[in-house]
Amino acid sequence: MASKLRYKFRETQLFHFYKSISVWGEYASWKLRHVRGAGAPHLVKQRMIAEFASRFNLQTLVETGTNYAHMLYVNKDKFREIYSIELDEHRVRSARRKFASRTNIHVLQGDSAKVLPQLLSSLKEPCLFWLDGHDFDISTPIKQELDAIYKHPIRGHVLLIDDARWFDGRTPYPTMQQLREKTAHEYPGHTIEVKDDIIRIYISRR
Ligand SMILES: C[S@@+](CC[C@H](N)C(=O)[O-])C[C@H]1O[C@@H](n2cnc3c(N)ncnc32)[C@H](O)[C@@H]1O
């Protein structure tokens, strides 16, 4: 019963109001405890997306893993176009309901391993990718997502990949070493670095 109510609550706009306040508590506790190997709080992820969008002047955001659409909510007025891909049909319906009046927000249903390559074929400008579609550290479409982005003819994309701690050889994720080698071979000229558990891949300045 309690979990049903929690899910219902996440489908409301009130959820985003609550999140906008609770992220500060989450951030303060992360700052105070600073547990090594822990994920970053949502506020840090939001700020990193804003920083890279501004630094590289990117107008299109592509997110994998919509979840209950809080990243969409936070960025709804900050990008010209936003695409978000979610596997779970229920979450897709919920996000589409929330942003029904927004013609710049596109929520796509399906496995990002398949949907992202299809979406890429329609993208004509550099984008900011927030790659965060996964079932914890149990399954991830990251390899297929990277294959598709690295082959894309448009240069100047910025990739932010959440949960760097899982690129450690104990999960289906590639290791950081494998990711660095793949990037050097297939996406030359790009910097790859980790900050606050987020992997950042962007074109190196000469
Ligand atoms: C950590 S949540 C995403 C959080 C959200 N991006 C944010 O920043 O607030 C991960 C989401 O990815 C979805 N997911 C899992 N596997 C996926 C896949 N193969 N393709 C697309 N979405 C997937 C899950 O259903 C879940 O909603």
Judge whether 127 and 159 are in contact, CB under 8 Å.
no
Kindly list the protein residues whose Cβ atom lies closer than 6 A to any atom of ligand 1: 45, 63-65, 67, 70-71, 85-88, 91, 111-113, 132-135, 141
Contact residues for 25 (Cβ-Cβ < 8 A; gap 6+): none
Higher-confidence residue of 1 and 86: namely 86
What share of the chain has pLDDT > 90, as a percent? 90
Q: Which of 177, 7, 194, 188 is nearest to 203 (CA)?
A: 188
Q: Quick one: pLDDT band at residue 141, thresholds 50, 70, 90?
A: very high
Q: Whose CA is nearest to atom 16 of ligand 1?
A: 134
Q: What's the pLDDT at 118?
A: 98
The pLDDT tens digits of the residues spanning 68-97 come to 999 999 999 999 999 999 999 999 999 999
Q: Work out the angle at residue 201's Cα, subtended by the Cα atoms of residues 29 and 155, and round it to the nearest 5 degrees.
A: 145
Compute and round to an integer the Cα radius of gyration of the chain: 17
Write the single-letter amino acid at 52.
F
Give residue 193 CA to ligand 1 midpoint distance, Å.
Answer: 22
What share of the chain has pLDDT > 70, as a percent? 100
Distance CA 160, CA 200 (A): 5
| Complete domains list, the chain, with CATH | 2-203 (3.40.50.150)
Q: Whose CA is nearest to atom 3 of ligand 1?
A: 65
pLDDT of 34 > 90? The answer is no
